[in-house]
Structure 1
Amino acid sequence: MRETRKGLKIWQKILIALAVLVVGVGVGAFIYANNMLDKLDKVDVDKDKLGIVNVDGYINFLIMGVDSRDMDDSKGSRTDALILVSLEEKTNKLKLTSIYRDTMLKMGDSKKYDKITHAFAYGGAKDTIKSLNQAMDLDIDKFVVINWKTVVDMVNAAGGVTLDIEDYEINEMNRCVEETARVVGDGKYTPITRAGKQTVDGYQAVGYGRMRHGVGDDIKRTERMRTVIEALLKKLKKSSPKKIDKVLKTTMPLIKTNIKKGDIFSLATRIPQYKIVKSESFPYKYTGGMIDGAYYLIPDTLKSSTIEFHKKVFGQKGYKPSSKAISISNRIEEIAGGSNYIVDPSVVSPKSEEPENKPDVEKPDEKPDNNNEPDKNPDVTPQPSPEPQPEQPPEEPPTPSPGDSPTNPAG
């Protein structure tokens, strides 16, 4: 698990930072950025083992945020955040897709079906990526891994980010802020005291992205993590070279990736033109409930969500999933159709977020927090759903036969 964490956000920031340095400052900055990239912790993964399904016209990479406190010892960690970044090469449009961590999928090359968050514990970035590629017909072969500390340090180096906090979120957010400060810092933190749009520091941003119990659980948390990522991207895109220099020096040593230096520069030269036009979560429809004492999010169905995903993100109308993706979808339906699945009626899929033919439009930047007044935007009331906290999964989990029910790796 030494490969990702809220890296999702961080990777984009790095690219933006490099763009400013390379494009805006010139050759000297290019050499400087080149030296900074040498500080990245490179991880090699055999691309032939990632289950790649080609998607023309797009560059897809995965940001993985792991629950490891120490990036040098992430073995056995799980992914708290999984964000797929899809870049349309012709238009420079960015589309972010968060994967719900409790989603049941096939684990890598094994016959085991489990939560996608546990794939990292079984086989690191490789198993996580292959689990997504084979279930969603993707060609992910690039990734970034970060942890709590990476995000804390990046947000602080950037001077904080702007978030719109709801009143009902404050207590649980402060609990997570305190825990984050205690685990990855010196324990000193500033609690949130009011609702509304405001600038938050690193501990507060991570606390906002991590909270879930009683405030929407995993469904809402996935949205919050993506919100923090977008806020950080926007902040860095507007930052001065001096501030970006500070961010790079602070966070480069805390990031693990398999992206080659040449690819980074190729992407970086176009970053000033990048536009975030879509931000959603996968699967689009689902149910939630317990199987043998463990909580799972069951796609309804994986096949239909994969078809919708390819239409929304890649513009592929009438997409036909691969036989592999269909097989995985069918197996999940079989498992969920068994008598062991106890559905939680409070877990409800959101309604479609947009009309059929709505064009991609760049998401507007946040307005500055001039008078500390909260926005009048409508909010969605979160649906609570109890979720047991799993223990660490075993390093070498047993592989059940295809007919077995999923086993929680946490025991």
Structure 2
Amino acid sequence: MKKIILFITLAILAGLAGFIAWLSVPFNILIIGSDAYANQPTKGSRSDGLILVRVVPLTAQIKMVSIPRDSYAEIPCENYKMDKITHSHAFGGTPCTVEAVEKLLDVKVDYHILFRFENVMDITTMIDGVDVVANHTFNQDYFDQEVFHFNKGQVYNLKGRQALAYTRHRKSDTAFKRDERQRQVIQGIVQKLSAPSGWKYIPKVLDYTKKNMEIEVNPIKALSAAPAILLHHPIEQHELQGDGRMINGVYYYILNDNSLNDIIYDFQN
């Protein structure tokens, strides 16, 4: 009997050790922002925003890198032809976009989240807004309707149409600044929900995301990101550098090799 109990105890401990080891393995989540409008299918839409998130549980670290939508990259589902990475979703949906990012950054995308314009408006409204410091002074309309003004350095509680306007703008500054705005809002949502005062919103947000967004994330694995969030560790923000260039009359963003290699290294380690 003692041997049986010992065997069971060792088996439980081994299983627990294996589970902890699995939780400790870093993982990548690709966040895809579709340009599909309300009530439109995401099929055939472009990826208006691409953010790769790396979670490193052992160091309670989260990294984010935005991939410029016009990045000149191989599109796997189109026989690896070179094109804007934003077109990967139009050609082959989420699987093609995931493959294109994996090929570009030489990483494995473990999970993904796909959202569209109205999801940004709905979620930020649902949680009573997110506080963001504007990174640029600009005006942005809501599809030729309401116009929103932002002053650089001023704090705004963004929700609904104003949140969407902030994340969509890219005419008066750069794609980098726009990508930064998208990361600011995503980070704001995460921080709002992780704070004790924001826990009350979680059931409603979870229910909404299940019904309105395409999410493929292991919920147990996602818990390993909790220490980084709850300890309020700053999220590392990364950018892919490059230069705009016309090729056969079409504008593309050509990524700098050194910048690309730095991101590849950072997101593999």
Give the TM-score, by structure 2 length.
0.80
- Give, in whole Å, the separation in 1 of the partners of 2:248 and 2:188: 39
**Are positions 1:59 and 2:27 aligned together?**
yes
Do the aligned residues in 1 keep the contact of 2:132 with 2:188 (CA within 8 Å)? yes
The structure-2 alpha-carbon separation of the partners of 1:193 and 1:86, relative to structure 1 and needing over 3 Å to count, comes to closer
In the TM superposition, what is the alpha-carbon distance from 1:269 to its structure 2 partner? 5.9
Do the aligned residues in 2 keep the contact of 1:71 with 1:147 (CA within 8 Å)? no
**Are positions 1:266 and 2:221 aligned together?**
yes
- Give, in whole Å, the separation in 1 of the partners of 2:39 and 2:28: 24
Q: Where does structure 2 lack aligned partners over 5 or more consecutive residues?
A: 1-23
**Are positions 1:211 and 2:169 aligned together?**
yes
- Give, in whole Å, the separation in 1 of the partners of 2:135 and 2:58: 38
- Map residues 295-306 of structure 1 onto 2, 5 A cutoff: 295-301=251-257, 304-306=258-260
- Give, in whole Å, the separation in 2 of the partners of 1:167 and 1:89: 33
Equivalent residue for 1:97, pick from 65, 84, 93: 65
Equivalent residue for 2:159, pick from 201, 205, 213: 201
Residue aligning to 1:255: 213
The structure-2 alpha-carbon separation of the partners of 1:70 and 1:90, relative to structure 1 and needing over 3 Å to count, comes to same
Higher mean Cα deviation, 229-238 or 58-67? 229-238
Do the aligned residues in 2 keep the contact of 1:102 with 1:297 (CA within 8 Å)? yes
Residue aligning to 1:235: 192
Do the aligned residues in 2 keep the contact of 1:108 with 1:127 (CA within 8 Å)? yes
Do the aligned residues in 2 keep the contact of 1:85 with 1:94 (CA within 8 Å)? yes
- Give, in whole Å, the separation in 1 of the partners of 2:45 and 2:222: 29
Secondary structure class of the residue paired with 1:90: helix
Residue aligning to 1:368: none
> Aligned-residue CA RMSD in angstroms?
2.4
Do the aligned residues in 2 keep the contact of 1:64 with 1:81 (CA within 8 Å)? yes
Secondary structure class of the residue paired with 2:28: strand
- Map residues 317-328 of structure 1 onto 2, 5 A cutoff: none
The structure-2 alpha-carbon separation of the partners of 1:252 and 1:298, relative to structure 1 and needing over 3 Å to count, comes to same
The structure-2 alpha-carbon separation of the partners of 1:298 and 1:167, relative to structure 1 and needing over 3 Å to count, comes to closer
In the TM superposition, what is the alpha-carbon distance from 1:193 to its structure 2 partner? 7.1
Secondary structure class of the residue paired with 1:212: coil
- Map residues 308-319 of structure 1 onto 2, 5 A cutoff: 308-315=262-269
**Are positions 1:84 and 2:52 aligned together?**
yes
In the TM superposition, what is the alpha-carbon distance from 1:279 to its structure 2 partner? 0.8
Give the TM-score, by structure 1 length.
0.54
- Structure with a larger share of its residues in helix: 2
Do the aligned residues in 1 keep the contact of 2:38 with 2:117 (CA within 8 Å)? no
- Give, in whole Å, the separation in 1 of the partners of 2:25 and 2:224: 18
Do the aligned residues in 2 keep the contact of 1:93 with 1:277 (CA within 8 Å)? yes
Q: Where does structure 1 lack aligned partners over 5 or more consecutive residues?
A: 1-55, 316-411
**Are positions 1:155 and 2:112 aligned together?**
no
In the TM superposition, what is the alpha-carbon distance from 1:243 to its structure 2 partner? 2.2
The structure-2 alpha-carbon separation of the partners of 1:147 and 1:159, relative to structure 1 and needing over 3 Å to count, comes to same
The structure-2 alpha-carbon separation of the partners of 1:152 and 1:57, relative to structure 1 and needing over 3 Å to count, comes to same
- Give, in whole Å, the separation in 2 of the partners of 1:147 and 1:309: 26
Encode CA deviations 1:72-96: one digit per residue, 9 max, x unaligned. Answer: 6112100111010101132231101
In the TM superposition, what is the alpha-carbon distance from 1:265 to its structure 2 partner? 2.5
Encode CA deviations 1:304-325: one digit per residue, 9 max, x unaligned. Answer: 334211333444xxxxxxxxxx
Residue aligning to 1:122: 91
- Give, in whole Å, the separation in 2 of the partners of 1:166 and 1:276: 17
Q: Which amino acid aligns with 2:237?
A: S
**Are positions 1:164 and 2:119 aligned together?**
no
- Structure with a larger share of its residues in strand: 2
- Give, in whole Å, the separation in 2 of the partners of 1:168 and 1:308: 30
- Give, in whole Å, the separation in 2 of the partners of 1:243 and 1:190: 28
Q: Percent identity?
A: 28
Do the aligned residues in 2 keep the contact of 1:157 with 1:250 (CA within 8 Å)? no
In the TM superposition, what is the alpha-carbon distance from 1:244 to its structure 2 partner? 2.0
- Give, in whole Å, the separation in 2 of the partners of 1:67 and 1:294: 20
- Give, in whole Å, the separation in 1 of the partners of 2:150 and 2:235: 32
Secondary structure class of the residue paired with 1:114: strand
The structure-2 alpha-carbon separation of the partners of 1:149 and 1:288, relative to structure 1 and needing over 3 Å to count, comes to same
Q: Which amino acid aligns with 2:170?
A: R
